[in-house]
């Protein structure tokens, strides 16, 4: 039976095969997206691809992509042909929870500018309802974060401020992340997403609704393509 690492790699290679010469590509973050960046590097080195530019969604992906010889440009107002990224949960509509890797804000900014958002994952990420397994990451500004967390508690969020090495985890944007649970699953993801956007102190949340256009999900039976559907945001 293939190891989870190999499954991630298989899904990533399928997504990277969609990239054509001259494309502008959003580069995701995390252990699965890493394989897509490595595969793009391989394709460039072996002459299968030329003239692509990448917009990374984190400092880590920026560093990795540059090391792979991918030309990096700033997002600005660019329209991207394609973005490839992992996810923490994928529901049957291809709605997602993202942000366990801490890059949710830049991921959303980059991926909203992409004509196609291709999600790559192993089958452990599939859920019936969002919030079944993963906490919902919510990026909050550091200033007065205790008050922001109190507002989130009023919305029904229970959870923890993310830590790393005994310290509060700080995102590439200099903010904190609150990993929130709302009972056994999210009651109504669309309404929750709106409420979170209206909460002072919240920078961004990890609900990516109506954004993914396609997913490659790897399991021991191979890679399943969940077909493209029109995006709503
Ligand atoms: O949203 C993300 C980072 O902010 C990642 O895409 C998500 O956490 C999945 O990561 P991995 O591929 O390592 O499981």
DSSP H helix total and E strand total for the chain: 6, 16
49-102, pLDDT tens digit by residue? 999 999 999 999 999 999 999 999 999 999 999 999 999 999 999 999 999 999
Provide the pLDDT for residue 6: 92
- Compute the distance between CA of residue 111 and CA of residue 28 in angstroms, rounded to an integer: 9
Ligand 1 centroid vs 124 CA: distance in angstroms? Answer: 13
Ligand 1 centroid vs 17 CA: distance in angstroms? Answer: 20
User: Is the Cβ atom of 88 under 6 angstroms away from ligand 1?
Assistant: yes
Q: Kindly state the tokens that stand for 232.
A: 């709503």
Ligand 1 centroid vs 230 CA: distance in angstroms? Answer: 23
Q: Residue 228 pLDDT > 70, yes or no?
A: no
CATH number listed for the domain at residues 4-124+209-219: 3.40.50.1360
The reply to whether ipTM tops 0.95 is: yes
**The 202-205 sheet, strands edge to edge:** 158-161, 176-181, 136-140, 202-205
User: Is the Cβ atom of 27 under 6 angstroms away from ligand 1?
Assistant: no
Residues in CB range of 63: below 8 A, 6 or more apart? none
Q: Kindly state the tokens that stand for 200.
A: 């002072």
pTM: 0.96
Which ranges in the chain are annotated with CATH 3.40.50.1360?
4-124+209-219
- Compute the distance between CA of residue 55 and CA of residue 34 in angstroms, rounded to an integer: 14
Query: What's the CATH architecture for 136-204?
Result: 2-Layer Sandwich (3.30)
Annotation marks residue 111 as catalytic: no
């Amino acid at each position: 039976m293939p190891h989870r690492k190999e499954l991630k790699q298989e899904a990533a290679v399928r997504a990277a095969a969609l990239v054509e010469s001259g494309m502008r590509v959003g580069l995701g973050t995390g252990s699965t997206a890493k394989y897509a960046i490595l595969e793009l590097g391989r394709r460039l080195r072996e002459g299968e691809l030329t003239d692509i530019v990448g917009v990374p969604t984190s400092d880590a992906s920026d560093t990795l992509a540059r090391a792979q010889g991918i030309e990096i440009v700033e997002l600005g107002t660019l329209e991207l042909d394609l973005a490839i990224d992992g996810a923490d949960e994928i529901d049957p509509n291809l709605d997602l929870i993202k942000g366990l890797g801490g890059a949710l804000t830049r991921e959303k900014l980059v991926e909203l500018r992409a004509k196609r958002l291709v999600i790559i994952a192993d089958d452990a990420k599939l859920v019936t309802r969002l919030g079944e397994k993963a906490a919902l990451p919510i990026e909050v500004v550091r200033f007065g974060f205790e008050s922001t967390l109190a507002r989130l508690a009023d919305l029904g969020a229970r959870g923890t401020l993310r830590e790393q090495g005994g310290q509060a985890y700080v995102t590439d944007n200099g903010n904190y992340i609150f990993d929130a649970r709302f009972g056994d699953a999210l009651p109504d993801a669309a309404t929750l997403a709106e409420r979170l956007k209206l909460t002072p102190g919240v920078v961004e949340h990890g609900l990516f609704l109506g954004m993914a256009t396609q997913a490659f999900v790897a399991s021991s039976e191979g890679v399943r393509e969940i077909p493209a559907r029109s995006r709503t945001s």
